[in-house]
Structure 1
Amino acid sequence: MALPNLVVRGSEGLSLVQWEADGSSTTNRICEHKCRTTTFSNDGKKFAWCDMKKVHIMDMITGDIIVSLDQPRTYAMYFSPDADLLCTWEQYTVSKTVPAGTPNFNIWKVADGSCVYSAINKKVNGWRPDWLNGTSVCGKLVGHSVHFFTGNDFHIEKLEVFEVSPNPKPPHKIACFIRGSRGGPASVRIFEFPKFNTEDVLAHKSFFKADTVTIRWNNRGTELLVTAAVDVDTTGESYYGEQSLHYMSCSGETAIVQLPKKGPIYDAAWSPISNQFCAVFGFMPAKACLFNSKCQKLFEFGPTPKNECYFNPHGNLLILAGFGNLRGNIEVWDCSRNSQVNQFTAPDTTYLEWCSDGEHFVTATTAPRLRVNNGYKLWNYTGGLLQTINIPNELNGVCWQPTPAGTYPAPLVKLVASKSLSTQISASKPASYVPPHARGKPSSAAAKQPVTQEPLSKSAQKNKKKREGKKNKKPMDSGLSAEQRDVVQMAKYLLNDSAAQPTQSTSQISEDDKKIKNLRKKLQAIEKLKKQLNDGKQLEKNQLEKLSSENLIIEELAKLGIS
């Protein structure tokens, strides 16, 4: 069965790539020059793109252009759930003739291209309206209020973010983030549309450390995850600030998701069948855990370099990946048996997306994140890499065409014998350094060729001896993991190990020495003030108070055995 179209958008134009299951493909070029943005309708039957001249809307079944809109500056687009409306947003600008600016947010009828709504929305954040699935009700953030396009206004002070539950049938829920003010806590509240009074709150969760939040609903619209973050970690442990993961239910239950390792929370995702979620967290090498809907840990994945997680559309396969500043490790796991199915390496990956068949996925290296080695790859979770397409210039993005639910059956998960992660990483390590005079020669000749080194300076020799001394003094527990060393250290503490805990007498002596040193400093300062007073200098009130404390300091020294 053929796979859905893959949209490829780059500096050379816009293409639709039709893949077959074996990796062969055909390409249909629909635009010959660079496009700014593209979007599909939820069912994948309509496709829109902006070629910086117009916005074009195409019927994916017939391939015909339905309508073209004169909106060359469109920056982002979004279809309504039933695909009869298209929202466009462009950057806000002013001119001498129109100092207040022209409307930059518009809603268009797809059938005839008529504009049904226009407004000014200066910020790129919050411009996109959210529809309640299965209805014509649309909500949009305006200032600190949510305006619904049925005449309802929902206003809360300090409202920053709202997310509509994705369930296809009513009742629909609205999750709202309210920023804290005057030292008070921030909060997330859940309402049921259209009941927005204070007494109508279904669930409420407060937290102090929350400058920004990410709200993730499950597909049923019954539960959500909130990742709260602050830019600065007050403990100084993390460069990435401080994050916490919270669970909320429409029945009123709330909880903090307990993560068994300290460090940043990189990613979290609900399974498409809404029965479990995955979180990736902790200092590298990071951990990941599967939790059920009661926040109980189902399975803990071992520490590996990873920072992203992706469920396939059927929820039976999970990808754990390490992208960005990591090497591009990809682990594929069976969610029902909690066993690793396969693993690959995709260096320089900036984007990954599962295909709707649940068996294939695409990875890409895109600009402007990376401007070299741009291209995309098609993978099968069992067969591995099927095809690599290199783009000579810039690749700006790829995405799969959505398909209606039930188009592809859930794949039967097959276990594949795969190499260990360490083996794959070592296979991809760069070649050893070869000095210039040995390059171009056989490796044996390069090994036999003596390498002359300049004599080390005195300081370099001293540092070298220190390093060699540290290597020779390896601790007994050097082969243990960090967690095992923590257990050993705790055992030493409980057994009053002298190496782990200083004796009381030594500690007491050091404390007395500190007190004596501080008291003597105070006496020296008092002597200087006495001399200034004898010389006729006028002293301040706090200096006179220091003089009056001389007898107390002498008494303290006497108690410590100093006369």
Structure 2
Amino acid sequence: MSKIPQFFCRLPKSIELTEGQPKFKPVSNFVSPTSEVRCSAYSSDGKCFVYTQENEVVVCSIDGQQLFTIPNKFVLDFVFSEDGQFLTTWSRPVKANDDSGNWAENVFIYKLDLEKKTVEVIQKYVNKMQSGWKPQFTADGTIFCRKINSSRIDFFKADAAEGNKTLYSLSLDEGKLEEFSLSPGKNPSIAVFIPGSRGNPAYIKVYSLPNLKSAISQKSFFKGESCKFTWNGLGTSLLALVTTAVDASNKSYYGESQLYLMGITGTFDQKINLDKEGPIHDITWSPTSREFAVIYGYMPSSTTFFDSRGNEIHTLPESSRNTIIYSPHAKYILVAGFGNLQGHVEIFDRQKKFSKVAEFKASNTSVCKWAPDGRFILTATTSPRLRVDNCVKIWYLNGTLCYVKNYDVLYNVDWRYQPLTDFPPIHTCRPDKCEVTPDISAVEFLAKKTSISGSTTSGPKGAYRPPHARNRTGAASRSLAEVEAARSGRSSPSSDESHSGESFFSHSRRIPGATPRRTIPGAVPLEKKSKKKRHHKKSVNNEASTGGIDGKTEGTKAAPSERSLVVGGVFSLEEKKTRNLLKKLRSIQKLKAKKERGEFLEKTQELKIETESKVRRDLEALGWKGDKEGST
């Protein structure tokens, strides 16, 4: 057991967004707990803050003042209902204080009244396992349900007087109930998953409350051991991510995963066909409930957007990503690679044809969430995911770092929920410039980072050089072609600047006592072999760049561009040839510029310049129109 981080305890209004400019200040009225804390969180409606102590649960207002306490020993976990009225706690299982030998109730459902500062118990029951104990409430908070056994779900009225009376039950005869999920929205539905066993298929069924006699939508399939349901905000459609622990084709260590889309009306249910092999990393619905996004495939993964009927809308270029989050307004989309990836974050504008707004790097991120106003992003490194560099960072949506707070140990961090009506409309946001002044903590962090690395940005710094060749001039800075030219007696513009054209290798050949190179009678000399390999490699490259034999390209993939990112956009054979020839022409122009500056060129580079006229003729034959000076 360990104390909860102070930042999370001080979170109510510690980063307040009601005035546009965040206030990075601790809540003055909040008193930090002195004993161990197992868990803490804001209510779903953002009206209170709750944390646990050894013998009680403490309820605080958003300004940090303690409202009341709930006597309950050894609470290890709790969850709020969707409307924030009900709090369910799970305590460590203990035997009852009688001679019956039974277990004492360890799950309690409370109804909180913040105005009257009162609490009443709706229901209590026994659940020894710390899984499957959470009840689920409807959006209006009038009904809740919980799993009774492996094939039965009971529904209750969320009222203290009738909290233990069963309204109706859902019994399943097809097999063992593995997962269930109650939908949001005004007309609640419940989805259940039954894994396959003994040659029988797996099932997903959707029932409408309170009519539980027959399913309004169902899907059967094989290869299903576990399932995760994701409803859209209206509760009209759901995504079911079905996985197996073992991949029968032995292609993936993570098993197999399939994605199904189902509607509560039963008019459609389908499997989402993904065009790349590999696991499904993340799925999410847009707050508009009209589209969803999926990140899937082996790295670099693919990110595709679908409408509510499963039709493709747009695909981003492949990259190392595994996280996607819509902003509360559904205008901006955050796509990133966290966990074992490098933490590269990209922000796209959904309303402007997925144009990129900004990108930044948030390394070692284990928590990432949009602020309630849709303008700021919270990233954090928490324990036990990582036990070093625990910190919280706040970013503006254009990538500007606004706030940094370091901790010795940080376990959790979250925003307090606030409705969108508390903030200005999102169309007043200016992503091209930061509307806030970065906190002094962010300024100091960036200054320290710059002093250590010499730059605030990270990336490739050029070609790799071994340690002995760094920060040196002369022979060590010459290319291999220049060394070969000096060895064969050819002149180069750089030969006069470095050891009179002599290289380290040319000196080492004259070391007294050195063993001369041996030759095998009848064998092809090494120089001829190298020349033959270079000639073969050059012919293969030329064939690939011009489309191969008869204009067909085998084993090559076109580089992504704007047209290839649009769903349905296909390159013709002429377009591919034109693109490759333009690439050659640009390379020739660069070589000509080097030659004009007096830089050394290899023989192959000089020969490449001589092919300019042929490349231009081929381009004109394909219908390309450019200026006579080679503008591309």
TM-score for the superposition, normalised by structure 2: 0.65
What does residue 112 of structure 2 align with? Answer: 110
Shift of 1:72: 3.9
Amino acid at match of 2:110: W
The SS at the match of 1:126 is: coil
The 8 Å contact of residues 13 and 31 in structure 1, kept in 2 or not, is answered as: no
What does residue 501 of structure 1 align with? Answer: none
What does residue 600 of structure 2 align with? Answer: none
Report the CA distance shift for 1:388/1:415 in structure 2 as closer, same or farther (over 3 A): closer
Report the CA distance shift for 1:60/1:13 in structure 2 as closer, same or farther (over 3 A): closer
What does residue 242 of structure 2 align with? Answer: 228
Shift of 1:432: 7.3
Amino acid at match of 1:71: N
1:364-383 map, 5 Å:
364-383=380-399
Is it true that 1:158 corresponds to 2:158 in the alignment?
A: no
What does residue 324 of structure 2 align with? Answer: 309
The SS at the match of 1:336 is: helix
Is it true that 1:340 corresponds to 2:340 in the alignment?
A: no
Is it true that 1:205 corresponds to 2:219 in the alignment?
A: yes
Report the CA distance shift for 1:23/1:406 in structure 2 as closer, same or farther (over 3 A): closer
Report the CA distance shift for 1:410/1:206 in structure 2 as closer, same or farther (over 3 A): farther
The 8 Å contact of residues 390 and 409 in structure 2, kept in 1 or not, is answered as: yes
Shift of 1:261: 1.3
Amino acid at match of 2:155: F
Report the CA distance shift for 1:83/1:417 in structure 2 as closer, same or farther (over 3 A): closer
1:174-195 deviation line (CA, Å, top 9, x unaligned)? 1111122221111111111111
Shift of 1:309: 0.6
The 8 Å contact of residues 8 and 413 in structure 2, kept in 1 or not, is answered as: no
What does residue 250 of structure 1 align with? Answer: 264
Cα distance in 2 for partners of 1:109, 1:272 equals 28
Report the CA distance shift for 1:352/1:247 in structure 2 as closer, same or farther (over 3 A): same
The 8 Å contact of residues 31 and 51 in structure 1, kept in 2 or not, is answered as: no
Cα distance in 2 for partners of 1:292, 1:109 equals 38
The 8 Å contact of residues 322 and 329 in structure 1, kept in 2 or not, is answered as: yes
Match among 202, 210, 214 for residue 194 of structure 1? 210
Amino acid at match of 2:138: L
Cα distance in 2 for partners of 1:470, 1:407 equals 72
What does residue 5 of structure 2 align with? Answer: 10
Cα distance in 1 for partners of 2:340, 2:461 equals 15
Match among 354, 358, 366 for residue 350 of structure 1? 366
The 8 Å contact of residues 193 and 205 in structure 2, kept in 1 or not, is answered as: yes
Shift of 1:434: 7.7
Cα distance in 1 for partners of 2:48, 2:281 equals 33
Amino acid at match of 2:554: V
The 8 Å contact of residues 176 and 189 in structure 1, kept in 2 or not, is answered as: yes
RMSD after superposition: 3.5
TM-score for the superposition, normalised by structure 1: 0.72
1:259-308 deviation line (CA, Å, top 9, x unaligned)? 12111100000001101100000110011011011111110000111001
The SS at the match of 2:554 is: helix
What does residue 25 of structure 2 align with? Answer: 26
Amino acid at match of 1:189: K
* Unpaired stretches in structure 1, ≥5 consecutive residues: 1-7, 451-464, 481-485, 492-563
Is it true that 1:427 corresponds to 2:459 in the alignment?
A: yes
What does residue 554 of structure 2 align with? Answer: 488
Cα distance in 2 for partners of 1:477, 1:385 equals 47
Is it true that 1:262 corresponds to 2:263 in the alignment?
A: no
Aligned-residue identity in percent: 29
Report the CA distance shift for 1:325/1:424 in structure 2 as closer, same or farther (over 3 A): farther
What does residue 362 of structure 1 align with? Answer: 378
Cα distance in 2 for partners of 1:479, 1:163 equals 53
Shift of 1:75: 1.6
Shift of 1:404: 3.0
The 8 Å contact of residues 355 and 400 in structure 1, kept in 2 or not, is answered as: yes
What does residue 193 of structure 2 align with? Answer: 177
Cα distance in 2 for partners of 1:279, 1:86 equals 32
Is it true that 1:476 corresponds to 2:482 in the alignment?
A: no
Match among 287, 296, 313 for residue 302 of structure 2? 287
The 8 Å contact of residues 40 and 401 in structure 1, kept in 2 or not, is answered as: yes
Report the CA distance shift for 1:79/1:287 in structure 2 as closer, same or farther (over 3 A): same
Cα distance in 1 for partners of 2:71, 2:378 equals 33
Is it true that 1:219 corresponds to 2:251 in the alignment?
A: no
1:42-80 deviation line (CA, Å, top 9, x unaligned)? 22012211133421012226x432221222421221233
Report the CA distance shift for 1:487/1:182 in structure 2 as closer, same or farther (over 3 A): farther
1:520-535 map, 5 Å:
none
Shift of 1:424: 9.9
Cα distance in 1 for partners of 2:289, 2:532 equals 52
Report the CA distance shift for 1:210/1:64 in structure 2 as closer, same or farther (over 3 A): same
Across the two proteins, how many residue pairs are aligned to each other?
449
The 8 Å contact of residues 108 and 114 in structure 1, kept in 2 or not, is answered as: yes
Shift of 1:129: 1.0
Amino acid at match of 1:476: N
Q: Please state which structure has a larger fraction of its residues in strand.
A: 1
Shift of 1:489: 3.8
Cα distance in 2 for partners of 1:241, 1:469 equals 48
Report the CA distance shift for 1:24/1:383 in structure 2 as closer, same or farther (over 3 A): farther
Cα distance in 1 for partners of 2:431, 2:49 equals 37
Match among 38, 41, 45 for residue 40 of structure 2? 38
**Which stretch shows the higher mean deviation, 51-60 or 36-45?**
51-60
Cα distance in 1 for partners of 2:403, 2:104 equals 46
Amino acid at match of 1:78: V
Shift of 1:116: 3.3
Report the CA distance shift for 1:347/1:81 in structure 2 as closer, same or farther (over 3 A): closer
Amino acid at match of 1:116: I
Shift of 1:235: 1.2
Amino acid at match of 2:230: R
What does residue 496 of structure 1 align with? Answer: none
Tell which has more relative contact order, 1 or 2 (C-alpha 8 A, sep 6+).
Answer: 1
Cα distance in 1 for partners of 2:410, 2:358 equals 28
1:510-549 map, 5 Å:
none
* Unpaired stretches in structure 2, ≥5 consecutive residues: 158-165, 435-454, 478-503, 505-525, 546-551, 558-632
Shift of 1:357: 0.2
The 8 Å contact of residues 10 and 35 in structure 1, kept in 2 or not, is answered as: no
1:380-529 map, 5 Å:
380-391=396-407, 393-412=408-427, 414=430, 416=432, 427=459, 443-444=471-472, 476=541, 488-489=554-555
The SS at the match of 2:411 is: strand
The 8 Å contact of residues 13 and 35 in structure 1, kept in 2 or not, is answered as: no
Cα distance in 1 for partners of 2:44, 2:242 equals 29
